[in-house]
Chain A
Amino acid sequence: MLNLEVMGSSLPLYFGGVVVTLKLLAVSLIVGLLAAVPLAVLRASPNVWLSRPVWLFTYVFRGTPLLVQLFLIYYGLAQFSWVRESVLWPWFSSAWFCSMFAFALNTCAYTTEIIAGAISATHHGEVEAARAMGMSPFTLYRRIVLPSALRRALPAYSNEVIMMLHGTSLASIVTLMDITGAAREVNSRYYLPFEAFITAAGFYLALTFVLVGLFHLAEKRWLVHLAPRT
């Protein structure tokens, strides 16, 4: 039924696609997470002048499709001559950079909300005890709030990582040869949509399982104190 010969011979294309997908995923997740931690601290702050701007950023990025964000950055920015003439143009004219930039901004918005939620859920007693011990706000965050908040954010963050893995498939629309890009190439070369996209689906499914497994290990390592005792 399925043309196994074509599926086998196009596997190298898919392996190349896996590398592209993982690169996009890793870079955008790392950049997004690094930016999300300080933003989440601001977002959870009682000072509205600090939390509102961050809220606006996450609201806009969580309220619009990733595809629109990607197109705004990849196609949209070229509209302005000051962008085309700036030193950043070599970056913003590259599909690679634009995809990573859009994905990083998007995941940063979601991650900020996840971590901010975890920060707000910190038990008041812990904060009061730390203050009573004379910790400065910085020490309080470094020693008490963030270590436990980041742990509690793990389950929600694992969902976000899976969503982002799936989100990277949009990079194929702006010409990158990720897993989906490889599948579209195979489909247009042989006109075998089932073979092409089922193979891609298999690769994504495998990556999803690996990521879910890794997060299970991470939760076992860092969230063991919250596991139900039976």
Chain B
Amino acid sequence: MLQGYLPSILEGAIVTLTVALSSLVIAVLLGLLGAAMKLSKSRTAKFIATVYTTVIRGVPDLVLMLLIFYGGQLAINELAPKLGYADYIDINPFIAGVMTIGFIFGAYLTETFRGAIMAIPAGQREAGIAYGMSNGQVFRRIVFPQMVRFALPGFTNNWLVLVKSTALVSIIGLSDMMNRAGMAAGATREPFTFYMTVAVLYLVITSVSNLLLGALQKRYSLGVRTASL
């Protein structure tokens, strides 16, 4: 049915997953940084973080991706000669895609993490400091374990949206599963078959993510009492 294109599409699925996981790493780092800036006392830091989250969340992923892909290409090739490079530099679509998606979801995760940190009573942090723990210890021992629990529902949501937005990297020429399905569709004139295959693969990825993150949520909520009606 897939006329031998299945291995190629599965390879593309690995590219998709790699893009998703790599951008998740960037997004988590940016999200933690953004949340720290938003909760800090410095007005400048707060302002920068607010501009970041507002602008990124107000502009479509596709526009940001095209801006970073084409704009980054131009900027690098204008900068490089000044730094002594003579050759034309091609921006790697993988890096452009990962950077963009990481940058976008960093903004969404900033809000998720900020909410999660604020949900932890300040007294607990103060108690930690009163015990003589350093800021790092307070974060690692007291804030982080609880933050995970509060942040997981929002994190799960953002991860699912992130996975789905990786389909866009095919537009800037990365050979993810969407891109490969397009090639197979062109060669065989059976677009429905191949895009349906991609849809099923995405459904598998999102379903498995749901299961895993649901189990994680259970693990981190072990000590929480819930009332059942």
Residues of A within 8 A of B (CB): 60, 63-69, 71-72, 75-80, 162, 165-170, 172-173, 179-180, 183-184, 187, 191, 193-194, 197-198, 200-201, 204-205, 208-209
Contact = CB atoms under 8 A, between A and B. Distances in A.
A64 B60 contact: no
Contacts of A194: 67, 71, 74-75
B196 A204 contact: no
A147 to B, nearest CB: 25
Nearest to B196: A72
A208 to B, nearest CB: 4
Interface of B: 55, 57-64, 66-67, 70-71, 73-75, 160, 164-168, 170-171, 178, 182, 185, 189-193, 195-196, 198-199, 202-203, 206-207
Contacts, number: 118
Contacts of B74: 191, 193-194
A166 B190 contact: no
A204 B62 CA distance: 12
A197 B63 contact: yes
Nearest to A191: B74
B203 A64 contact: yes
Nearest 4 A/B pairs, CB to CB: A193-B70, A76-B192, A197-B67, A166-B60
Give the interface SS of chain B, mostly helix, strand, loop or mixed: helix
A60 B196 contact: no
Contact of A198 (B58, B67, B191, B203): B67
Contacts of B57: 162, 208
B59 A204 contact: yes
Given A65-B164, A68-B178, A197-B71, A166 B59 contact: yes
A198 B58 CA distance: 12
B59 A205 contact: yes
Nearest to A171: B62
B63 to A, nearest CB: 5
A180 B192 CA distance: 26
Given A72-B195, A170-B62, A204-B58, A193 B165 contact: no
Nearest to A211: B58
A169 B70 contact: no
- Residue from the set A71, A76, A187 with the largest chain B CB neighbour count within 10 Å: A71
B164 A66 contact: yes
Given A65-B167, A71-B191, A193-B66, 12 more contacts: A66-B164, A67-B178, A72-B196, A76-B195, A79-B190, A162-B57, A166-B61, A193-B74, A197-B63, A201-B67, A205-B58, A209-B58
Nearest to B72: A193
B199 A201 contact: no
Nearest to A166: B60
